[in-house]
Amino acid sequence: MRLEQLQAFLAVAQSGSFQQAARQCGVTQSTISRQIQGLEADLGMPLFHRGAHSKLTLAGEQLLPHARKIDQEWQSAVSAITDLRDGKQPELCVAAIQSVCAYYLPPVLQQFSQLYPKVQLRVTSLGSDRSLKVLKDGLVDLAIVMNNPFLLQTAEAVVDSLYHEPIQVLMAADHPLVSQNWVRWVDLAQYPQVVFKDGYGMQRLVQEQFRQLGLELKVAIELNTLEAFRGVIRQGLMLALLPQGALVESSTDPTLAVRELAPVTSSKGFSAAVLTREVVMVTTQDRLLIPPIANFRRLVQDFFSAQVRSATDSTLSLSGA
């Protein structure tokens, strides 16, 4: 059974004539006849009494309401897909890590709202793993997360690198290590650590770095909000390794101090790069066919490209001073 057979059946049932149904459908009368015959063969019963006026048989009467319902559902589906293709979607959902939600996304959200006032934005702050899970499940349209190649190795994923940022040390303003401008990893390992909960990319990054250095990570508390990190750290000797973007408010808090991580030194005396993380935006190929999603992606790309250019210009200006 095919959709065009049902549509031919409805056209004949409505007009009472194979010839008029053919004109209505824009096909030949023989085409309508073949479609009706094929449908009757599938169902095993005649649907019309052939004659000057094609009248429905008992089987045809039984089929009619079902055929109408199927055709209505199909038309509704076509209309919904057309609206989607034309950008007439009711909402756009984004999942992003906390620092991006708090400090980077607001101007992008404002721009998007001006471009698409009828599209409701729904932005949720989640850890990287959870953000990618809800993207995979179709609950959000885009995710802005810490890069994890192992979770992004899918054919449908579209991944845009947005920026790299250093990992820094958050401590209380009166912490014993506050006098060090560059905190060594061996010194870090002497103090209890506050880390993100399981499912956050930062937890894995910190754990892996300690493991590679052969140092013990003394986890004291697991948290999932930046406010909680600041509240706990200002109380005493605990430390936290956090990305630079998550420390915007901490850097101006007189009860807290932010210090740089010292480069890792190998056994041969060479210094490796300071620990950093990469933040990426992820969506899927099919979603980029939808104008609001494609434009949101473009706005995010443009914003972070401008941020990177501004940072580069500042660095060049300072180096030339």
Q: Which of 189, 165, 182 is nearest to 239 (CA)?
A: 189
Mean predicted confidence (pLDDT) in 53-78: 91
DSSP state of 151: G
Q: What counts of helices (H) and strands (E) characterise the chain?
A: 11, 12
DSSP state of 167: E
Q: What is the mean pLDDT of the chain?
A: 88
In this predicted structure, the answer to whether residue 313 has a pLDDT above a threshold of 60 is: no
Give 222's strand partners.
195
- The pair of structure tokens assigned to 299 is 């706005």
β-pairing verdict for 142-146 and 276-284: antiparallel
In contact, 232 and 223? CB cutoff 8 Å: yes
Q: Which residues neighbour 150 within 8 Å (Cβ) at sequence distance 6 or greater?
A: none
Q: The pTM is what?
A: 0.76
What is the percent of the chain with per-residue pLDDT over 70, rounded to a whole number? Answer: 93
> 164-178: per-residue pLDDT in tens?
999 999 999 999 999
Q: Which of 148, 150, 147, 196 is nearest to 170 (CA)?
A: 196
> 108-120: per-residue pLDDT in tens?
999 999 999 989 9
Mean predicted confidence (pLDDT) in 131-145: 94
| Confidence at 84, pLDDT banded by 50, 70, 90 | confident
> 267-291: per-residue pLDDT in tens?
554 455 688 999 999 999 999 999 9
> 243-265: per-residue pLDDT in tens?
998 998 998 999 999 999 998 76
Listed range (10-19, 125-134, 198-207, 266-275) with the worst mean pLDDT:
266-275
DSSP state of 162: E
What does the angle CA 21 – CA 22 – CA 26 come to, to the nearest 5 degrees? 120
Q: Which domains, and CATH codes, for the chain?
A: 3-85 (1.10.10.10), 91-162+279-320 (3.40.190.10), 165-277 (3.40.190.10)
Q: Which residues neighbour 290 within 8 Å (Cβ) at sequence distance 6 or greater?
A: 84, 85, 87, 89, 141
